[in-house]
Amino acid sequence: MIAARNVTLALGRAPARVEILRGIDLSVAAGESVALLGPSGSGKSSLMAVLSGLERPTGGSVHVTGLDFATLDEDALAVARRGRIGIVLQAFHLLPTMTALENVAVPLELAGERDAFARAEAELRSVGLGHRLDHYPAQLSGGEQQRVAVARALAPRPTLLFADEPTGNLDTTTGATIMDLLFARHRDTGTTLFVITHDPGLAERCGRVIALADGRIVSDRRNA
């Protein structure tokens, strides 16, 4: 599902050049659940951005879902992600002029899904927002916006799901419900799940835990 070799990411130029990722080698098989742990500034979100095609590495190779991301331009990367890769970011990126239902359904419509609004409604109900379908982002709390973002990522039924601190804006009970949903989806459909988290307890629910520090993988273990 994911094959990254000697991936580097740097910003700026000498002498102000900042090395963010330093020679990442990583393989993730289809159907795995992987937690990425590490302190703030260790490169977790940057690695996710590179693996999901949102950021281009400075060096190395990245193959995801059988595609060589290094050879694709921005338009081709967008097409490659569509329907294959779901992404939940810490910044929700909801469209302010669209309702919760439209935020989830419109990407499905653009991808040619015929039952876009029905599927969007089902996903919003699954994250506890059946009563907020017609509300705009400004009318939703931060936690509710996060749940809309989760529904939007799940709706295309992706084969690979990235989640960057998916419960960061949620209370404990709601966060646990959302993670139960993500793990159930992983279990029932075989979706490959890649979760960035600061929560060791959440990490232990994954089949594999990778720790990052200073832009390098410092440990990679499988849970029993």
pLDDT tens per residue, the chain (224 residues)? 999 999 999 988 777 888 999 999 999 999 999 999 998 889 999 999 999 999 999 999 999 988 898 888 888 888 888 878 998 887 788 999 999 999 999 989 988 888 999 999 999 999 899 999 999 999 999 889 988 998 999 998 899 999 998 877 778 888 888 888 888 889 988 999 999 988 888 899 999 999 999 999 999 999 87
Query: What is the pTM for the complete model shown?
Result: 0.88
DSSP designation for 134: T
Rounded Cα–Cα distance for residues 27 and 20 (Å): 19
Residue 32 exposure: Cα atoms within 13 Å on the Cβ side:
20
Residue 148 exposure: Cα atoms within 13 Å on the Cβ side:
31
160 φ/ψ sector (left φ>0, alpha ψ -120 to 50, else beta): beta
CA-based end-to-end distance of the chain: 22
Q: Cβ–Cβ contacts within 10 Å for residue 151, how many? A: 28
